[in-house]
């Protein structure tokens, strides 16, 4: 290795890899290198100099016709003396040398053309590209009109037949000259010559998109040409050394046509980038302008528009301005669609005018702020009409901040106006955050318009998001007060995420926030407004998360771009799916740049209309929101119909995954059943039957099946004529219509007909899995319909979902009934019917596994029925096998205290080797301490052998119920069995059962956020007031010793809109439940109803959300009486005689006074005092949804 006299600025390798041509800066002697040896020990090169009278600006090798063709190497050099020289190698006795074959003088065309060293475009078109381009031009002309006699084209064909290279020169004055280089380096000795083939002048050549602008500081352009075989057009790539590459396209016949035309050259694209890796990209509010920044503070402003050259949806990202700032830049903000830029540097903030290609400094302001400035936030304008005034703020880590007032020139008056531009300090402030901030950043403009409301309240538009090292996330809004010269800040919502020291966070105006843990390996997505965790995903530690960016569809459905080192994953918001427990977010598309660039991704951002810009290395990659059919990451979800070109639209797909679902969707039907709209469910299925009956495959299906939507949010009495039973006309159609026999109402026959159609016809709005679930739902509703008259609504809810779970378990083994279904059955008055139904589902042989799946020992309220059913299970467990083993039923019989029955079974188990010892043991009196001790020894011995169920049985034999329950909980991990044994052996009021409920189930409910479990446990404990409050209040706040909830307790699946249904049922059942409801303030109840309605909206059940906010009845508040107690009867809006009195007399007398207590004991109804509280108007609820 040897050093050269001057460093190499450019090098080119010949196409047969035999030579390397290199030049340095201001080099007059290009060097030709030829390798002589290829051994590992010594590397030797032969070098030749090519003398030139002036500086050589570029070198280029001739391209062969075919890659494997052996041709003589030809070198072209371009010199500052305005000559192109052609060099060919020759062999002599002294070796191989290079000789000058010929040259083209660029000054021969016109003396005035190159009087000054102005920029010019000089390129060599290789013979293979020129010939291919001429052939395609001939084919195009012949296809247009075969009879056309084109003299110019004939001349071009004659030139192409000689297989020459073409030297093309274009000047800024619009003059183009072309020469043909014939027989260059011909080995056969053919005489070579250079001759002119064209010289034309056209205004179209002037500037060529700014590349030939004499005012630009671009004295040199590097070019490369090729012929695109797909369309036969000639393309010229022009590299200007100011960071731009232009792609010019042309039909060679039009380019060299001597007649006047305006089709010679077209600027197809301009590629531009940075000179160093991109580190940050910032967008303006509309996404029509972005600014990219590198580590060395190179800043470029880009304009986003739509190309007129290609299809209207093609992305165009053009360079607007370069900011000549050399200092370190901390933060950037764009104003007025990128016309002006604000840069925050070390102790100085500056305003730049970016309307020209090179930005100019308009004003700057020095400042001093304690702490590190974390952000640069544009605050809402006090007056939207003041487009020349803006306010920007920064906040430091210690919660102090500054606001600057920016006065812009009146840019509307003219593009060069700069008068009046200034930036100066407006005020200082301190944010009212509870702890120091780790980071503050502007919220991504997703889902909201930039208009300010003028009010400083929780409904104002958010401008910033902050997070602390403890994981607290706040959304902030701000309001400028010009009169008082100050700014006011308000935290619109916050939540404690529990994620320590987050590495990244990003928020949108829809109050969604994404957080990345300190290791950058896990992402969580939160609904900060509802303090709800919606998504959690871990990634490999070597694939760290680097960037988060939000956008939204026009109907405010969120999309999150998660940036990794070499890829970006787009996460789409999904509907809440409580039926399948599906995810609330899912990856919908992955963008990988690994095949495009070896550089890691520096940053990314969303453009307007859902296009994504990714910065990697010194390049920007713009991705259209349309994607190919093979780019979806959700193969099991049917996307919107593909276009003719096979692409799908990102916004259309996300809108399909969200928004209202059709009324025949299985989730909508299940929520109708849960909310007590069984009449509407039957009505929907009848309409579905009529629709499918005449449906032709491929035809669309109306989302509402032609039903009147009013029926979903009005009470049945609203549509009933006088003297007509509610719901009759609703179910059986219009009066006077002649109906067929199978259309008279929903029946099992109708269900069979619907399912037959669902097996043969695909419904466009449903995926295959959803269509199977719809068939299951139809079958379940038909099953319940047979028992409709003999069961209440809660029993119907349990029966539907129990049967549906049984059908789904045939396809998936991880489906279980939830505590929601157990609560419906527990509060049902038709438990005998439900027990018979569950037994029949188990074919009359209910084993413990069947009992656990159905939860019968959780929801059976009669203790005698519990014992009877437990004995049936004991008998079935004994008889389940061919060899009837008493061990299998020992736990059950001993829990029932029926040792004698167990002794009789052991007498018949002669095949069992444990028979004799067990019979001798069971024959003893276990009321005596020594035999209880013997039973305990056996129990511990069985524990050591891991025979846990049998060990629990011996604990019961020793009358150690608590130890038996402990084995069930810790070793068997069967809470249902523990509760069942405690109920059967110790009774519902026994201390062991109360301990299980208090110490095991309630803490578990608090940890998991399971309100259904908590409500059931409180009701079992006799705390019906707490059972009601548990449905509406976080469980951990109701415990005497609050525990820290797990992060999974914040998951969206712990919320359920059916909670509001049970709450409305229970709150007025008894005096205790009324007392619990009295602890719920009207504000909390109002927020709970709104929250439930929003859940319906997120699930796609907008009609049910509308029904909830329209028909909800708020309780009347009552004044507190003696000792702070409230008379529960005063909360009622109906007759108090319908409420069960289950309050102890002392507490009742304290709460309502002697008069109320006496009246309640006598059973006489009390007239409540006139209400002083006006329930919230329905319109106020609807306003929260923008309805």
Q: Are 65 and 165 found together in one domain?
A: no
What pLDDT does residue 822 have?
97
Distance (Å) of CA 702 to CA 662, 695, 758, 792: 8, 11, 16, 32
Do residues 362 and 351 make contact, with C-beta atoms less than 8 angstroms apart?
Answer: yes
Total structural domains within the chain: 5
- How far from the centroid of its chain's Cα atoms is residue 881's Cα? 52
Structural domain including 422 reads 324-430
- Distance CA(976)–CA(984), nearest Å, equals 12
Q: Are 98 and 15 found together in one domain?
A: yes
Do residues 1115 and 1066 make contact, with C-beta atoms less than 8 angstroms apart?
Answer: no
What pLDDT does residue 1080 have?
86
Helix axes 961-970, 948-957, angle to 10 degrees: 170
Structure tokens at 96: 């191989």
Distance (Å) of CA 858 to CA 770, 852, 855, 971, 1019: 31, 9, 5, 20, 11
Name the β-bridge partners of 548. 562
Q: Are 84 and 33 found together in one domain?
A: yes
Query: Which domain-ending residue is among 630, 659, 688?
Result: 659
Cα atoms in the 13 Å half-sphere on the side-chain side of 174: 8
In a domain, 71, yes or no: yes
Closest CA to 127 of 178, 180, 81: 180
Provide CB contacts within 8 A for 650, sequence distance 6+: 559, 570, 588, 589, 610, 625, 626, 627
Q: Are 553 and 577 found together in one domain?
A: yes
Start-to-end CA distance of the chain, whole Å, equals 77
In a domain, 469, yes or no: no
Pairs from 696-703 (Cβ < 8 Å, separation ≥ 24): 697/761, 697/762, 700/764, 701/662, 701/664, 701/763, 701/764, 701/765, 703/660, 703/661, 703/662, 703/663, 703/765
Structure tokens at 520: 């950058």
What pLDDT does residue 546 have?
95
Q: Are 135 and 73 found together in one domain?
A: no
DSSP state string for 1070-1107: BHHHHHHHHTS-HHHHHHHHHHHHHHHHHHT-HHHHHH
Closest CA to 263 of 412, 140, 395, 163: 140
Q: Are 123 and 79 found together in one domain?
A: no
Q: Largest Cα–Cα distance of the chain, in whole Å? A: 133
Q: Are 210 and 101 found together in one domain?
A: no
Model confidence over 13-36: pLDDT tens digits? 998 888 999 999 889 999 999 888
Query: Which domain-ending residue is among 372, 399, 430?
Result: 430
Do residues 785 and 748 make contact, with C-beta atoms less than 8 angstroms apart?
Answer: yes
In a domain, 1136, yes or no: yes
In a domain, 536, yes or no: no
- How far from the centroid of its chain's Cα atoms is residue 292's Cα? 25
Helix axes 929-944, 948-957, angle to 10 degrees: 170
In a domain, 844, yes or no: no
926-955 exposure pattern, b = at least 16 Cβ within 10 A, e = fewer: beeeebbebbbebbeebbeeebbbbbbbbb
What pLDDT does residue 716 have?
58
Do residues 85 and 77 make contact, with C-beta atoms less than 8 angstroms apart?
Answer: yes
Distance (Å) of CA 27 to CA 8, 80, 116, 237: 9, 11, 21, 24
Q: Are 24 and 171 found together in one domain?
A: no
- Spans in the chain with pLDDT lower than 50: 110-117, 147-148, 308-312, 450, 640, 719-743, 1136-1137, 1146-1174, 1178-1187
In a domain, 1083, yes or no: yes
Torsions phi, psi for 1125 (to 5 deg)? -85, 150
Q: Are 153 and 267 found together in one domain?
A: yes
- Distance CA(154)–CA(258), nearest Å, equals 12
Helix (H) or strand (E) holding 975: helix 975-986
In a domain, 491, yes or no: no
In a domain, 738, yes or no: no
Q: Are 98 and 114 found together in one domain?
A: no
Query: Which domain-ending residue is among 232, 254, 272?
Result: 272
DSSP code of residue 425: E
Q: Are 150 and 261 found together in one domain?
A: yes
Q: Are 1109 and 1133 found together in one domain?
A: yes
């Amino acid at each position: 290795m040897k050093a050269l006299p001057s460093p190499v600025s450019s090098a080119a390798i010949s196409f047969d890899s035999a030579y390397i041509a290199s030049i340095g800066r201001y080099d007059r002697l290009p060097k030709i290198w030829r390798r002589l040896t290829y051994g590992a020990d010594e590397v030797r090169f032969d070098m030749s100099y090519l003398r030139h009278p002036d500086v050589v600006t570029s070198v280029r090798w001739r391209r062969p016709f075919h890659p494997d063709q052996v041709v003589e190497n030809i070198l072209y050099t371009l010199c500052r003396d305005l000559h192109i020289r052609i060099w060919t190698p020759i062999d002599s006795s002294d070796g191989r040398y290079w000789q000058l074959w010929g040259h083209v003088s660029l000054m021969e065309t016109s003396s005035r053309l190159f009087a000054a060293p102005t920029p010019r475009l000089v390129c060599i078109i290789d013979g293979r590209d020129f010939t291919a381009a001429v052939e395609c031009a001939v084919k195009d002309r012949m296809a247009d009109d075969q009879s056309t006699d084109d003299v110019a084209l004939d001349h071009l064909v004659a030139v192409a037949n000689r297989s020459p290279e073409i030297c093309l020169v274009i000047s800024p004055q619009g003059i183009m000259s072309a020469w043909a280089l014939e027989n260059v380096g011909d080995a056969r000795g053919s005489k070579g010559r250079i001759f002119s083939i064209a010289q034309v002048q056209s205004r179209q050549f002037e500037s060529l998109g700014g590349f030939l602008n004499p005012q630009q500081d671009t004295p040199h352009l590097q070019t490369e040409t090729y012929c695109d075989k797909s369309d036969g057009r000639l393309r010229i790539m022009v590299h200007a050394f100011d960071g731009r590459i232009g792609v010019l396209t042309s039909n060679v016949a039009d380019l060299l046509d001597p007649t006047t035309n305006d089709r010679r050259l077209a600027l197809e694209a301009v590629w531009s980038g940075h000179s160093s890796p991109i580190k940050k990209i910032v967008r303006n509010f509309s996404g029509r302008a972005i600014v990219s920044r590198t580590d060395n503070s190179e800043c470029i402003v880009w304009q986003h528009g739509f190309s007129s050259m290609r299809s209207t949806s093609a992305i165009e990202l053009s360079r607007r301005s370069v900011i000549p700032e050399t200092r370190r830049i901390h933060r950037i903000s764009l104003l007025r669609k990128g016309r002006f830029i604000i840069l925050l540097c070390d102790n100085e903030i500056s305003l730049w005018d970016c309307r020209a290609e090179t930005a100019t400094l308009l004003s700057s302001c020095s400042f001093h702020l304690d702490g590190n400035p974390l952000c640069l936030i544009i605050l809402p304008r006090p007056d939207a009409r003041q487009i020349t005034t803006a306010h920007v703020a920064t906040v430091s880590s210690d919660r102090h901040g500054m606001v600057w007032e920016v006065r812009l020139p009146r840019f509307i008056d003219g593009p060069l106006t700069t008068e009046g531009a200034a930036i100066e300090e407006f005020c200082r402030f301190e944010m009212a955050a509870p702890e120091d901030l780790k980071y503050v950043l502007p919220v991504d403009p997703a889902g909201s318009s930039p208009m300010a409301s003028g009010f400083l309240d929780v409904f104002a538009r958010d401008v910033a998001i902050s997070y602390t090292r403890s994981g607290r996330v706040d959304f902030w809004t701000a309001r400028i007060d010009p009169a008082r010269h100050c700014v006011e800040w308000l935290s619109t919502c916050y939540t404690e995420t529990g994620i320590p020291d987050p590495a990244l966070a990003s928020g949108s105006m829809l109050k969604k926030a994404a957080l990345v843990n300190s290791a950058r390996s896990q992402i969580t997505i939160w609904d900060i407004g509802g303090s709800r965790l919606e998504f959690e995903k871990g990634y490999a530690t070597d694939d760290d998360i680097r960037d988060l960016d939000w956008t939204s569809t026009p109907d405010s459905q969120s999309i999150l771009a998660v940036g990794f080192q070499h890829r970006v994953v787009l996460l789409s918001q999904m509907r809440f799916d409580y039926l399948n427990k599906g995810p609330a977010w899912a990856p919908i598309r992955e963008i990988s740049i690994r095949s495009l660039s070896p550089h890691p991704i520096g940053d990314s951002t969303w453009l307007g209309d859902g296009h994504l810009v990714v910065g990697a290395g010194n390049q920007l990659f713009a991705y259209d929101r349309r994607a190919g059919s093979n780019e979806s990451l959700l193969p099991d979800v049917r996307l919107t119909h593909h276009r003719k070109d096979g692409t799908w639209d990102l916004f259309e797909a996300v809108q399909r995954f969200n928004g209202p679902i059709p009324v025949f969707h299985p989730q909508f039907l299940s929520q109708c059943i849960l909310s007590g709209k069984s009449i509407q469910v039957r009505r929907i299925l009848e309409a579905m039957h009529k629709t499918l009956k005449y449906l032709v495959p491929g035809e669309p299906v109306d989302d509402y099946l032609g039903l009147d939507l009013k029926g979903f949010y009005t009470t049945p009495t609203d549509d009933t004529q006088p003297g007509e039973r509610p719901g009759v006309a609703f179910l059986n159609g219009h009066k006077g219509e002649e109906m067929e026999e199978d259309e008279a109402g929903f029946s099992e026959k109708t269900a069979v007909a619907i399912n037959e159609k669902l097996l043969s016809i695909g419904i466009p709005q449903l995926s295959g899995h959803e269509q199977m679930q719809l068939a299951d739902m139809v079958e379940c509703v038909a099953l319940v319909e047979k028992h409709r008259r003999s069961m209440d609504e809660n029993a119907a809810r349990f029966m539907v979902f129990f049967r549906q779970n049984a059908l789904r378990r045939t396809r998936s083994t991880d489906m279980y009934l939830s505590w929601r279904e157990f609560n419906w059955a527990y509060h049902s008055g038709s438990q005998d019917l439900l027990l018979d139904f569950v037994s029949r589902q188990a074919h009359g042989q209910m084993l413990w596994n069947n009992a656990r799946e159905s939860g019968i020992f959780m929801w059976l309220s009669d203790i005698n029925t519990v014992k009877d059913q437990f004995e049936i299970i004991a008998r079935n467990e004994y008889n389940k096998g061919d060899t009837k083993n008493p061990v299998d039923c020992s736990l059950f019989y001993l829990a029932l205290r029926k040792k004698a029955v167990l002794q009789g079974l052991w007498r018949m188990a002669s095949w069992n080797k444990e028979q004799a010892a067990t019979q001798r043991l069971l024959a003893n009196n276990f009321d005596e301490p020594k035999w209880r001790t013997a039973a305990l020894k056996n129990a511990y011995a069985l524990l050591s052998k891991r025979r846990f169920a049998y060990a629990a049985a011996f604990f019961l034999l020793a009358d150690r119920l608590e130890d038996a329950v402990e084995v069930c909980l810790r070793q068997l991990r069967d809470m249902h069995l523990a509760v069942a044994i405690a109920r059967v052996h110790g009774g519902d009021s026994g201390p062991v059962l109360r301990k299980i409920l208090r110490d095991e189930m309630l803490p578990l409910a608090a940890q998991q956020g399971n309100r259904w479990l908590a409500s059931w446990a409180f009701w079992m404990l006799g705390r019906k007031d707490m059972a009601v409050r548990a449905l509406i209040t976080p469980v951990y706040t109701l415990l005497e010793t609050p525990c820290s909830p797990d992060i999974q307790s914040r998951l969206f699946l712990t919320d359920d809109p059916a909670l509001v249904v049970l709450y409305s049922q229970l709150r007025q059942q008894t005096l205790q439940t009324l007392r619990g409801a009295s602890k719920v303030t009207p504000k909390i109840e109002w927020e709970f109803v709104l929250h439930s309605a929003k859940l319906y909206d997120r699930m796609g059940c907008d009609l049910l959300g509308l029904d909830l906010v329209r028909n909800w009845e708020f309780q009347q508040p009552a004044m507190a009486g003696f000792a702070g107690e409230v008379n529960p009867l005063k909360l009622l809006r109906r007759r108090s005689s319908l409420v069960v009195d289950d309050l102890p007399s002392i507490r009742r007398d304290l709460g309502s006074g002697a008069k109320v207590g006496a009246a309640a004991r006598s059973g006489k109804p009390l007239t409540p005092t006139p209400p002083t509280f006006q329930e919230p108007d329905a319109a106020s609820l609807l306003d929260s949804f923008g309805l």
